[in-house]
């Protein structure tokens, strides 16, 4: 949600700029999910949970 808000506030006024901002927000969110999942996996593995 934060990535979407940030990209939305920074986008231009044209339709193509809105599309690029939406794509960028989705990519940022997916990367964040993958990184956070990897970090939690390592933490759980170290703690043997």
How many distinct structural domains can be found in the chain?
A: 1
Q: Which of 19, 30, 22 is nearest to 5 (CA)?
A: 22
The arithmetic mean of pLDDT across residues 23-39, rounded, is 97
Residue 23 belongs to what domain range?
A: 2-47
Residue 12 has pLDDT above 90, yes or no: yes
Q: Report in angstroms the alpha-carbon separations of 18 from 14, 22, 28, 33.
A: 6, 6, 15, 23
| pLDDT at position 1 | 85
pTM: predicted TM-score of the whole model, two decimal places? 0.81
């Amino acid at each position: 949600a934060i990535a979407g808000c940030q990209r939305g506030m920074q986008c231009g006024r044209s339709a193509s700029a809105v599309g690029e901002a939406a794509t960028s927000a989705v990519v940022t969110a997916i990367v964040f999910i993958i990184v956070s999942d990897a970090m939690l996996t390592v933490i759980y593995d170290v703690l043997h949970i």
